[in-house]
Chains A and B, each alone.
Chain A
Amino acid sequence: MAGRSLNKAQLIGNVGKDPELRKTPQGNSVCTLRVATTEFYRGKNGERREITDWHSVVLWDRLAEIAVQKIKKSDKIYVEGKLRTRSFEKDGVTKFVTEIIAQNIIILSRKQPRGEEGQPQQSDDTFTINYPSDYNPEGSGSL
């Protein structure tokens, strides 16, 4: 059920570095991916320019554990999830960070290892965990 509002973010971008698995104090698995997207635009003199945006994508539980095994730096991935902003204190100042809480990840391209005859090996490059609508992956965890 979609409810009365919608909060959806979709990215296709490149992973900035190999993901690391962390554990919350409550014992939940969590992992943060940095994903880059690039837009092209025209500068003031009409020249073609580009700008890169970095996104923090948070994966929980099973999604985090699978990602750490399968996703590497430079992989191109599709991310689908929701936007969530949280606040934290640093040096007495309240700061905000907005992250994409991932619900679905598809690996689109990666550096394939070569088989004996030089052919790329088959691999299962899509994994999906669709959380049921009444499940909040962050429910009992905190970063």
Chain B
Amino acid sequence: MPFTMNKVIIIGRLGADPEFRTSPQGLNICRFRVATNERYRDRASGEWKEETDWHNVVVFGPLAETANKLLRKGSRVCVEGRNKTRQYEKNGVTMYVTEVIARSLVFLESRGEREVVETTGYDNEFADPTSFYINDIQNETFSQVEGEVPEEEDDLPF
């Protein structure tokens, strides 16, 4: 039984098509960025403002192939996973990047299309399945894919 919890839940849209690659060890890795939006009232001026947050999502293993196949720029997705910060070297400087390592994805589309739930497929009751890949991803660098904020379509209210 674990003594701590590390859970992130993101619902948002992809800023660009996902990146997919297979590591030399045969590990499938899919990366994409998800935008979430928040509206708030500015304390000083009282007017409504909107802020966008970008989240770096990483998917490992069997789920990575599915994600790469089903997701595109603008796709709406729910990601559940853990928050992890790692460091890497860039031009001799130590850089930090925080990523959401996905445990499960829910593929959401507008207008109530078919929803698919997929998980990483590892049922290891003793360990967090996403930790399995720790040894393989130490020096991964993330190419900063700058995407525009996807336009909101008119979603039906359900």
- Chain A residues with CB under 8 Å of chain B are 3-14, 36-44, 48, 51, 53-55, 76, 78, 82-85, 91, 93, 95-98, 100, 134-136, 139-140
Least CB distance from A104 to B in Å reads: 14
Q: Chain B contact residues (Cβ within 8 angstroms of A): what range?
A: 35 or more
Contact between chains at A7 and B12 (CB < 8 Å): yes
Cα distance, A91 to B77, chains bound together (Å): 37
- B158 interfacial contact with A, CB 8 Å: no
Cα distance, A80 to B126, chains bound together (Å): 25
Least CB distance from B33 to A in Å reads: 11
Residues of B within 8 A of A135 (CB): 40-41, 43
Contact between chains at B43 and A13 (CB < 8 Å): no
Chain B's interface: helix, strand, loop or mixed, by majority? strand
Cα distance, A37 to B126, chains bound together (Å): 16
Residues of A within 8 A of B51 (CB): 136
- Decide: A134 near B41, CB < 8 A? Known: A7-B10, A11-B5, A38-B4: yes
Contact between chains at B9 and A39 (CB < 8 Å): no
Cα distance, A51 to B132, chains bound together (Å): 11
B6, B8, B44, B49: most-surrounded residue (chain A CB, <10 A): B6
Least CB distance from A27 to B in Å reads: 12
Cα distance, A98 to B85, chains bound together (Å): 8
